[in-house]
Each structure stands twice: as C-alpha cells, then as structure tokens.
Amino acid sequence: MSDQKTERLINLTLALLSTKRFLTKSEIFKNVAGYSGSAETMERMFERDKDDLRNLGIRIEVRALDPLFEDDQGYLIDSNTFQINPEDFSKEEILLLTMAANLWHQSALKHDSNAALLKIQSLDGSVATNTVASPVVEDSEDSKKLLFIVDAIERLITLEFEYKGVIRQVKPYGIYTRKGFWYLAAEEKDVVKSFKLIRIGERIKSTSKSNAFTKPSNFKLSSFKESLNAPTISTAEIKIRKNQALALRRRYEAEELDSEWDKLSIDYSFEEDLIETLLWYGSNVVVISPKSIRDQIINLVNGLINV
Amino acid sequence: MSDTAAVRALRTMDLIPYILEHPGISINHLSKVFNASEKEIEKDLQLAFMCGLPGYTPYELIDLTYEEGVVSIIDPQVLNKPRNFSSSERVVIALGLEILRELNLANADNLKKIDNLSKKFQDTKGEDLLIMVDQNLSFPFLNIINQAIFETRVLTFDYQSVSKDILSSRKVVPHKLYLQNGYLYLSGYDLQAQSDRIFKADQILNCVIGEKSDAQKFDQVKDEEIVEITVDPENLNFIERNSSIIIEQEMSQGQLLVKLRVSNFDWLKRAILSNAPSIKVVSPRSLALEVEQMASNIVSAYSDQS
C-alpha cells in the first residue's frame, strides 16, 4: 500500500516536472500511473498527494486554464524552483559550498547541514567531502534558535520570546556577532534593540506570516552595530615584568623601564575590558596610570583575599 | 521507525541525482549518506526502477544497474539535477559562507569568490546585510592546516600559550579546526607532550607543514578534575562562554554554585583573576589557596609600585 503511494507520488512529481504546459486533473488521472477507481476516489487521492508534496516543500504551480471555467485548473512543477542548476556553480564554488555547509555538521544544525551537503554532492561528484578538511562549528549555543531567527529575519516574520524575565514582541531586523556571541537586532515598541541570543528563552515562536512588516529603509545593520560601540579611546600606561605577558608584547611596543620591568602604552575604550585583560596576567602587569584603574584593580583583587 | 510514503518518495528522488554523480557507489555507502538502512535503500531503488514519465515504456522509466552491491544510473529521466535547497538549508549555507568569509579575510582571492557566492544565498532585499559575523577570525594558516589534517601531516608552529604565558615550539598532528563561541581552535596530538591539546588559532605563529605522520592512533589520558566554584549571577558571561565544561549549576544563597570539568588549571586561575571578584573557588581547597596567593601577589605588586 505504502509502496503504491510512494510510487504514485514520484510519478506525479516526474509528470508535473517534465511537462512544458500545465496539466489538467483529467490528463493527470489518465496518464499518470497509480490513479485508479471512481472519479471521486481519484480526486481525493490527488488532493492528498498534492498536500503531501507541498508539505515537503515542493512547489506546485496552479493556473486556471479557461477563464470561463475557473474549476478547470492546470498543474505544473517548474524545474527552476524544484531543482538546482549545476551550471550556476563553478567547481570552486561547489567546494566553497561544501565547506560552508560542512561547518555545521557537528552543531545543532547538523540535519540541515547534511541535507544541504547531499544536494551539493549531487551537483558534482568529483568534489568529495572527505577531501575537504574544513573547520567545523562546535556550538554551545542552540543553533536551532539561530536558524529560526535568521529565517524570520529573511521572511519578515514577527517573533515572541522571553528575555530577562519579560515576554517580548519584536520585529527582527538582523543578526550579528560580537566578542563571540550572537545578537539579534530587533524592533520592540518602535525602538531597535539588541538581544543576546543565548539569553533569549527556549520557547521562541513566530507570531505572523511572511512579510508581516517592512524594515525602515534607513535601518542599516552595520551602522546600528557601530552606534553600540561608541569608541572613545583612552590610553593607559602599564609596566610588565621582563619576558612576561607575551600576548600583550605582541600587540604593543615595549620600552625598557629597569632591569625587572618594561613599559607599555595601551589604548582602550572600556575600563572593564581593560581591567579584565590586565588581571589575566596577575602580578606580572601593574597599571601606572590612570589612577582610577589602579584603584579598581586593587579593590577587585582584594575581594579574592581572605574569603 | 518507518518513513511516510512522502518522505520515502523524496529520498528516492534525491537518490537518483546523487548516484548519477557517484556511479558505482555501494549500497552501504548510500545508506550512510542518506541515513537509512541498506534494506531501505534497496527498496527505494527497486521502486525508482518502476517510476518514470507518462507512457511508462522502457524508454520513459528511470533506468539503473544494480549488481553486487553497487549501483549506477543509466537514465535518470528528469531527475538529473538535485532538488533545490530548502529555506533552512539556504540559511545554513549563508551563515557558513559568512564565517568562511571571516576566516579568509587575509586571502583576497578567496574573499572575492566567497562574496560572489554569498550573493546567491543571502536574500539581501536591498543593500543591507542581514547577518554580520565580526570576529577577528582571519587566519593565515587555514589552507595549510586543512591540508595537514587531510593528509595527516605534522605541523610545526610557535605557540603563544595564553594560559601559561609562554612561547613554545610545537609539533602537532592536527585533528580538526573548530569554532566555539566565536573563536577558532585547533585540536591535535602534541608529539612532545604526547597528548591531545587544544590551541587557540590566533596564538599560532610561523606554522609550517611537515612530514606525514605515521602514527595511527594516539592513546591519551585526559587529566581532568572537578572544580566547584561560585559565580556572581551578574557575571553570566563566564557561564555562557564556558558552558561546554559545566557539569552542574544551581542557585544557592544568591550565588550560582557551578561544577566544572577542568583540565587546564592555568587557564582557570587566570580566568578567576580576570573576573575578580565574581568567581570564588569552593573546592579543591588547594586551588582556592593558589588563587588567593596570586591575588595577594597582585596587591603587593601594586604597593611596591606606589
């Protein structure tokens, strides 16, 4: 039974894909293998088959064939939407596609990654995946959430999720990374805000159909991102012990201070970031100026003593 | 688990263009690629053999040969090209290309190719991008490390250990490059240390590819210990960044009590200092004392200075 249905679905797809003109239902019933029984039975079979194929993402085009009889519709599958044209991609591009899809094959997106790889490998069998030892993403974040959001951004679907204990209704505009974390730029109550992906609740859902809103034409993700950084650069003077803090020495020019210490000038935008970086080197790095940072470091470190 | 007729139809239709590009492929291989049993693949192929275009004469049916466990397509009919990417597959590719772009920033040639390809996958709706990956992922040794992984060759490089703060020369058989929380890492077998190590890619210098590694598999013992710490709930970043080594966490008296699996104690001690005073060691006691000593050293370094 199931074999028969599978066979009929394949034959229907092939018939609709190979035809140059729209096929009517009666042509389908007459010519496509697998349709039999009363007119009503065949009708029901066809409706179900059509739904099944559509649910799998196969687009069936429908057109009224006779303007006077709207019931008389024709059906067809456009090969340009159903299939990938191998000529659209060079061998080199297929290799890059393989690497791009392969990046995710150990992540929460592995299902989509594998499905995409399979199709890419069907474009050109000579580009074998095992020849591509490309990097992979090992995400601790839930990539499914990422995928869901990117899809909503592309199709202009509104979202609802919990963030910092509050249910938010947003229009998603774009997604970006900063210091290793993903962020969603989205409009909430007429203000564009940033939401850290990892803090967005698990029960995220779409609350509209496609094209539910238009993104303001003056919104640019790149300028939005820049506006968040607001870099005012200050300089700190620090001394570092000889042969220590090598990563800092690679980035900044050291100047000899005495037999034990060298001196560096470091540019920074945020005090907290600088303090975090300098504390990493323990007692091998000492801030000379500004005094505010010296005081903060002493204060913070005292919090670790006699606990 | 049995598939629905529709899912089976789709897999069968995907099999045809795949086999067309891989003539003489084994059923066993197909079952792995398509994540189905060999029996299911065989049944799919028997079914494909019965399908074709209206008319259904031998010239209109899908034709294939299947002998001794290997299969080739003779006539795919209209299934000569793979099915189009679904919307989620397109997103996976678009995101992947963005990351590849970052990795290849140093390589103008590759960059151009990736940009051209991205245009086919990012539905930009205007000029602005929807996705921006901004890491300093640019990594000059990407190609030679990929080559070394594929050919199991030894890499020699200088490594600036961030947790130990020393520069050392390493000989490594690379296993894989991976991205975690936005940073690129190389994992591999360190021939001097005789154990697996993880290297932060941006701290790798002067990397050259060397001879083929004859070692098949390396046994290694992972020295891991369970560490218990408390973290101020304000400092979620630490938790989020290191979720891969966190075993347990619970709230207790306004603090997050966290159990970690740690192999690199130098890293942990520095991370605690960096996050001072929001992380405190509960156990082991020896670690708590070491951290306290390091903190005291900082305070005395500052008092010497003034």
CA B9 to chain centre: 32
Read off the pTM.
0.71
Six-digit token string for B117? 């390809």
Mean pLDDT of chain B: 85
For the ranges A78-92, A185-199, A229-243, B277-291, the lowest mean pLDDT is seen at A229-243
pLDDT band at A99 (very low <50, low <70, confident <90, very high): confident
* Inter-chain CB proximity B89 and A115 less than 8 Å: yes
Indicate whether A76 pLDDT > 60: yes
A231 C-beta neighbours (distance < 10 Å), count: 9
Indicate whether A278 pLDDT > 60: yes
Cα separation, B124 vs A174, in Å, equals 11
For the ranges A36-50, A242-256, B52-66, B138-152, the lowest mean pLDDT is seen at B138-152
Contact A118, B18 (CB under 8 A): yes
User: pLDDT for B174-233, tens place per residue?
Assistant: 988 888 777 788 989 998 888 888 898 888 989 999 888 876 555 555 678 899 999 998
Half-sphere exposure at residue A175, Cβ-oriented, CA atoms within 13 angstroms: 24
The torsion of the CA quartet A118, A120, A124, A128, rounded to 10 degrees, works out to -60
Mean pLDDT of chain A: 86
* Shortest CA distance from A5: residue in chain B: B5
Query: If you average pLDDT over residues A18-23, what whole number do you get?
Result: 93
Q: A71 CA to chain B: closest CA distance, Å?
A: 24
- The whole-number pLDDT of residue B147 equals 83
* Shortest CA distance from A27: residue in chain B: B54
Q: Which residues have CB under 8 Å from B29's CB, separation 6+?
A: none
Cα separation, A146 vs A293, in Å, equals 37
* Shortest CA distance from B98: residue in chain A: A100
Cα separation, B176 vs B198, in Å, equals 10
Q: Which of A13, A173, A304 sits opposite B291 (nearest CB)?
A: A304
CB neighbour class for B171 (10 Å; exposed up to 12, middle 13-18, buried from 19): middle
Dihedral angle sign, alpha carbons of residues B218, B223, B226, B230: negative
* Inter-chain CB proximity A118 and B34 less than 8 Å: yes
Mutation target for B interface from A119, A221, A281: give the one with most B CBs within 10 A.
Answer: A119
Q: Which of B9, B94, B134 sits opposite A10 (nearest CB)?
A: B9
Cα separation, A85 vs B98, in Å, equals 23
- Helix (H, G, I), strand (E, B), or coil: what is residue B252? strand
What percent of chain B lies above the pLDDT cut of 70?
Answer: 90
CA B67 to chain centre: 37
- The whole-number pLDDT of residue B125 equals 45
Contact B218, B171 (CB under 8 A): no
User: For B20, which DSSP code?
Assistant: H
pLDDT band at B16 (very low <50, low <70, confident <90, very high): very high
- The whole-number pLDDT of residue B108 equals 81
Q: A172 CA to chain B: closest CA distance, Å?
A: 10
pLDDT band at B130 (very low <50, low <70, confident <90, very high): low
Contact B23, B75 (CB under 8 A): no
* Shortest CA distance from A156: residue in chain B: B125
CA A103 to chain centre: 12
Residue closest to A59 by CA, chosen among A78, A43, A44: A78
Six-digit token string for B209? 């590819």
User: pLDDT for B230-244, tens place per residue?
Assistant: 999 888 878 887 877
Indicate whether A133 pLDDT > 70: no
Indicate whether B279 pLDDT > 90: yes
* Inter-chain CB proximity B85 and A116 less than 8 Å: yes
Cα separation, A62 vs A84, in Å, equals 21
Contact B265, B226 (CB under 8 A): no
Six-digit token string for A279? 């504390």
Interface check for B1 against chain A (CB to CB < 8 A): the answer is: no
Q: Which of B8, B160, B299 sits opposite A247 (nearest CB)?
A: B160
Cα separation, B44 vs B19, in Å, equals 13
Query: If you average pLDDT over residues A30-58, what whole number do you get?
Result: 92
Cα separation, B199 vs A142, in Å, equals 24
Cα separation, A108 vs A99, in Å, equals 17
Q: Compute and round to an integer the Cα radius of gyration of chain A.
A: 30
* Inter-chain CB proximity A119 and B83 less than 8 Å: yes
Q: Residue count of chain A, please give it.
A: 307
- The whole-number pLDDT of residue B240 equals 80
Interface check for B253 against chain A (CB to CB < 8 A): the answer is: no
Q: How far apart are the first and last CA of chain A?
A: 73
Six-digit token string for A113? 């990654």
Q: Are strands A136-137 and A61-66 parallel, antiparallel or unpaired?
A: unpaired
User: pLDDT for A134-185, tens place per residue?
Assistant: 777 776 556 778 878 888 887 889 999 999 889 999 999 988 877 667 889 9
Buried b (16+ CB within 10 A) or exposed e, A32-55: bbbbeeeeeebeebbeebbebbee
Cα separation, B295 vs A84, in Å, equals 61
Contact A196, A183 (CB under 8 A): yes
Residues of A whose CB is below 8 A from B184: 135
Indicate whether A284 pLDDT > 60: yes
Six-digit token string for B178? 């991976």
What percent of chain A lies above the pLDDT cut of 90?
Answer: 43
Identify which of A35-49, A260-274, B2-16 has the greatest average pLDDT: A35-49
- Helix (H, G, I), strand (E, B), or coil: what is residue A62? strand
A290 C-beta neighbours (distance < 10 Å), count: 14
- The whole-number pLDDT of residue B201 equals 87
* Inter-chain CB proximity B21 and A122 less than 8 Å: yes
Indicate whether A35 pLDDT > 80: yes
Indicate whether B124 pLDDT > 70: no
* Shortest CA distance from A186: residue in chain B: B130
Residues of B whose CB is below 8 A from A55: 6
Six-digit token string for B198? 């993880």
What is each CA distance from A66 to A61, A70, A74, in whole angstroms? Answer: 16, 6, 9
Residue closest to A94 by CA, chosen among A57, A132, A133: A132
- The whole-number pLDDT of residue B236 equals 80
* Inter-chain CB proximity A177 and B182 less than 8 Å: yes
* Residues linked to residue B25 through DSSP beta bridges, in sequence order: B71
A162 C-beta neighbours (distance < 10 Å), count: 14
- The whole-number pLDDT of residue A234 equals 86
User: pLDDT for B265-274, tens place per residue?
Assistant: 888 999 999 9
pLDDT band at B127 (very low <50, low <70, confident <90, very high): very low
The torsion of the CA quartet B109, B112, B115, B116, rounded to 10 degrees, works out to -120
Interface check for B61 against chain A (CB to CB < 8 A): the answer is: no
How many cross-chain Cβ pairs, A to B, lie less than 8 Å apart? 331
